[in-house]
Chains A and B, each alone.
Chain A
């Protein structure tokens, strides 16, 4: 029975530590929601910030939300992307979500 006890103790220990970290993290997140987020919101509001300051290498990675519409091909159409961040930022899904077909009344009459 010793192996079974060791296994169950190991599993219980790992899961307990994980749960403690998750609960601790959740409490930290709640505290941050109360204190940190309001301060950050005030900062974003006052400075009018629109983007995270993560990638500073190019305009379209520093401000993805403000970038030109053809972001990945900023320099000229079909140019290769320069930076790894460009491969993390995926383009919006292409294509139409709905379509509406409009036909001339005469064409419909012929059918």
Chain B
């Protein structure tokens, strides 16, 4: 038997021949016992292989996978790091003034997360009384510096820093800003204060107004809508 004939018999078995070739092979088969025998053997091989049991992963595979994805989903967002990464140095002069920068929040109005770039970045404030007044610009992420922001109707992304690196990003969760000022964030707070202090110093920021302006400038470097979109397919979005 030629290799070509064998190929056709094998493909006939898989119903992968066009109708003309199939009819031709079927006709030839009728008067050819050798081809019939080969076809029967091929059928045996194929059905035996298909009957082999599949090896299965261990129990809990899917659960472990989903847990990993949950972890990675939040880890994958430090694409903001490039924007916010700050060198860590000791600095005390403006420490209290920049305590507000411990946690940066991106607030997005409920329901617009997927498409509309409206939103705001909030630095939760301290008792030193950074301006409570939100700065709002339509269609752009804007900055609010306040610990008294009512976020009950907002969704937000919270970004925690440690040593200048984003260590945690939570999104799409409703939470009151004031909840962020608990003990759980004390360590992060200290580091971020230092980090921001360095960054602010390097950028000549010494007053509250300058702080707000700098934060706003920082926010203007990224496109919230792009970030949200890109976060879905893990394409880095780090506009410097």
Please say whether chains A and B are actual partners in one complex. no
Binding site for A on B (CB under 8 A): none
